[in-house]
Amino acid sequence: MTYYFDMDGVLADFHGAANGDWNKALRYDFMATLPAFMANVKLVNNLIAKGEKVYILTKAANEAAKQGKIDWLARYIPTLAIERFICIVGGGKKSAYIHEEGILIDDDKKNIAEWEKAGHKGMWLEVKGMKISL
């Protein structure tokens, strides 16, 4: 099985840390130091250890935010190969970045709808940081 995990709201507590100030998403230091949802981070690390194909599929406001996400991943999911990190800078649909058939785990209903419209399976996390059960 191939898994595509969103970061913000799934692995990292972007929404809680931003506290309504979405301009923070533009900053490297903010993105690099987001609190982790450790149960979900542990799940991702376990999947990688078992040899499952795991991608991180996320969006970033700019290149500085993208680099912050890369550094966040190096701290919390250090065994993720960099080629398994897919970051859409600016606009774009996640469904356009599918490398192979897989399930998207995301907290944004719009992303799940687009993913499923493209013929793939999605798992919507209704509550930010909700523990994932696969």
Range of the domain at 25: 2-92+100-106+118-124
32 located within any domain: yes
pTM of the model: 0.93
20 located within any domain: yes
62 located within any domain: yes
Q: What is the CATH number of the domain that holds 24?
A: 3.40.50.1000
21 located within any domain: yes
Half-sphere exposure of 134 (CA within 13 A, CB side): 19
Whether 44 contacts 5, CB under 8 Å: yes
Per the structure, the count of domains in the chain is: 1
- In this predicted model, what pLDDT tens digit does every residue of 74-126 receive, in sequence order? 999 999 999 999 999 988 899 998 878 999 999 999 999 999 999 999 999 98
Which residues make Cβ contacts (< 8 Å) with residue 101, sequence separation at least 6?
Answer: 2, 120
Give the residue carrying structure tokens 């981070």.
Answer: 41
- The runs of H, that is alpha helices, within the chain are 14-18, 28-32, 38-49, 63-76, 109-117
- In this predicted model, what pLDDT tens digit does every residue of 44-80 receive, in sequence order? 999 999 999 999 999 999 999 999 999 999 999 999 9
